[in-house]
Structures are given as C-alpha cells and as structure tokens.
Amino acid sequence: MKCLVLLFPLLLIACGQQEVNLAFDTQNTADQVFSLEAKLRVLVDDDSSTESPESMNSHLQVRLHSKLLTAYDDGTGRFMMKVDSVSYTSDNRSVEETRHIERYLGMESFQFKMAADGQMSAVNMDDFVALPDVGDLDIRKTFLKIQPVLPSSPVKMGATWERQHLINDADGKQLFVYKWFKLEDVFVRNGVLLAKLQMNIKYKQRTDDSLHTMESEDFVLGSGTILFDVNAGKIVEGTLEVEGKMRMIEKQEGAADTIPSLRVHQTILLKSGV
C-alpha cells in the first residue's frame, strides 16, 4: 500500500503514522475574542457539624479581547488581553457587592509575553496561577489555569508530554505548576483542522496577606480537554475541572486561628470567537 499524505499545513500522515506540529501563532495572529466562564463552589469541611456544610457558589462569565501588540525576532509575541463585558453572581454576596465586582473586573486589562509553545511570562501580576479564589476574583488566574503548554517538536497520536510553569510573585516566592498532556485525536470540523488534547494539572498553593494565610493541604488537581486549531495556531475551546482542599488561617494579634478546611471545586470553560 502506498503511503498517504494529506495536504494540510503542519500535518503529515504517512503509512498510518500521524505527526502534528502544535504551536501558537505569536507572529501574525489576528485579534481574538474569547468567552471565559468559571463556576466556583466552596464547602466548609467541618466534621463536627451535624448540619449541612456552609457553602458558597459563584458564577463568572466574561468576554475577552486578545490583541497581538509586538512580534519579536525570537518567536515570542507580546499580547494584550482586555475585558469587554462581565457578568458575576454569588449566593453569599449582596447585589451591591456583585455590582462592585463586575465594575472592578470590567476595567481589567493585562499584557503578557507568550512563546510559540504557550509559555507565558512578564504578566506583571502576583500569584497568577493560584487556588480557586474564595475572595477577590482575578480573571488572569482563571485564564492561565486553562492555558496549555505545547510540545517543542511534532508529536504522533497518543503522544504524551509534561511541562511545568515556574511562577514568581512580587515577594520572590515560587510556585511550580505541573501540567501533563496527551494528543487524543486530530480531526476536521467545518473545514478546520483540530487537535484534541487531554490536560491534567497539579500544584500546591500558599498565599499570604495581612489578615489571612491560605494553603492547600495536598496537591490541587485539575483535568480537562483542549481543542486547538492546528493551522491558525490558537485555542478553539477548552474545559477544566479543578478540585482541592484548603486551609485558611486568620491572623490575630498574638495568635492565629485556623478555621475548618475548605473543599473547593471550580469549572472553567473557554471558547474562542463567541
């Protein structure tokens, strides 16, 4: 049997063996619009209580506009991400609080440098891959949780790879986020060549401010899928489920009070062009 070659850019199929080159377009990409949705549920994990556990539920939906500002000779690009619209609800916040959060988030815009493999740097923010937030919300944290990191060379169907993010905050603290990927499928939908990636993440978290310390008791775990437009070099859609158990310590004068553990579950949905 003769070898078959499909004339899609960046995709070679030869003798039943498929290789695909996955890379973000950081040089010529057009402006993009994303819909980012995050659902968060937090439960107080208190075994001493006979009542239903105290909980918090919130729902965040934003429309983001991404623009390439500068393409560099080393293959990286500097992007700006701006919030176009935002909707936020929470069952433990007043109407005034939710409207204040919507106004605050609606003013967010941030820049970052991104390599062709999706690694982001120079984001100019603290703690930007963090635990599912139970306080103030940060759209950048949510977006970067679902951001994939692609392999540095072409891969075959079923291939796996591991990457890690080293994140430094303003205080010099470091956070390692481990990400694992598998190329599950390559297919054409509506004339677009798509790669389906399985993604798992894990990390340990500790954040401090003047009033609280919050830390994960074990690894925070997440899993999901990414659909990637091979020829355009961009994310089409993605989903991620994140779960972890947190411990919050309230700082007081001369003492520290530990409240019951928090069980956190977050669902993140990302879609391009909507």
Per-residue pLDDT in tens (0 to 9) along the chain, 274 residues? 333 344 444 444 443 457 899 999 999 999 999 999 999 998 887 655 545 557 889 999 999 999 999 999 999 999 999 999 999 999 888 888 888 888 888 888 888 899 999 988 776 654 444 434 445 577 877 888 899 999 989 999 999 999 887 665 545 556 677 999 999 999 999 999 999 999 999 987 766 655 667 777 788 899 999 999 999 999 999 999 999 888 777 766 655 555 678 888 999 999 998 6
pLDDT tens digits for range 225-258 = 999 999 999 999 999 999 988 877 776 665 555 5
Q: For residues 204 and 258, what is the distance between their CA atoms, to the nearest angstrom?
A: 19
Q: For residue 258, which amino acid is it?
A: T
Is 232 within 8 Å of 25 (Cβ atoms)? yes
Which amino acid is located at 4 in the chain? L
Contact 233, 19 (CB under 8 A): no
Q: Which CATH class is domain 23-272?
A: mainly beta
Residue 75 backbone class (left: φ over 0; alpha: ψ -120 to 50; beta: rest):
left
Domain boundaries, the chain: 23-272
Is the torsion defined by CA of 14, 225, 22, 7 positive or negative? positive
pLDDT tens per residue across span 14-33: 434 578 999 999 999 999 99
Token digits of residue 44: 């107080």
Q: What is the reported pTM?
A: 0.82
Q: Which residues of 228-245 are buried (b: 16+ CB within 10 A; e: fewer)?
A: bbbebbbbbbbbbebebe
Residue 11: which of 19, 22, 3, 23 has the closest Cα? 19
DSSP state of 245: E
